[in-house]
Amino acid sequence: MPSPLPETAHLIENETGTQTLIGYVVDVSDPDGRGRVWLDIGPQHTNRHNVLHGGIATAVLDNACGTTASLTVDAAGKAPFLTISMNVQFVAPARAGTRVTATGRVVGGGRSTLFIAADLVDENDRLIATASGVFKRVPKEKLK
């Protein structure tokens, strides 16, 4: 199992219905501005081939990208961004009993629209999937 988290870890858990349903954890602890999302894969996350379901992997990658976008304007990682588009490439399988971690990185964009990429790796840093997408900040007037 992965090493314990540092005491300074800032985790977001059970914030949304989707997060509670899937069980991923958002980590905004690292000062590098990259959102991290991890998931301990259980049997409920696997497909008929007993590997991580692509839809679950995509949700984890999407949240890492969105959190990374949010961190560009909010140190708590909670400023809302919407996914405009996202492409995912599946590279290797991950099985139940494994922790996977997605880490996002800003690769371009401007004030309201960002281009973000993310990698999903397992506990051994084996690449499971990659994603790239376009994310738009939700204007403050739309939040009311």
Taking only the tens place, the pLDDT of each residue in 47-63 is: 999 999 999 999 999 99
Beta sheet of 81-90, edge-to-edge order: 11-12, 25-27, 36-40, 99-109, 113-121, 127-137, 81-90
Predicted TM-score (pTM) of the model is 0.90
pLDDT (tens digit, 9 = 90+) per residue, 125-142?
A: 999 999 999 999 998 766
Domains of the chain plus CATH, in order, are: 11-143 (3.10.129.10)
Look-up of token digits 């992997």:
57
CA atoms of 116 and 11, how far apart (whole Å) = 21
Question: Cβ–Cβ contacts within 10 Å for residue 112, how many?
Answer: 12
Could you give the CA distance from residue 23 to residue 61 in angstroms, rounded to a whole number? Answer: 14
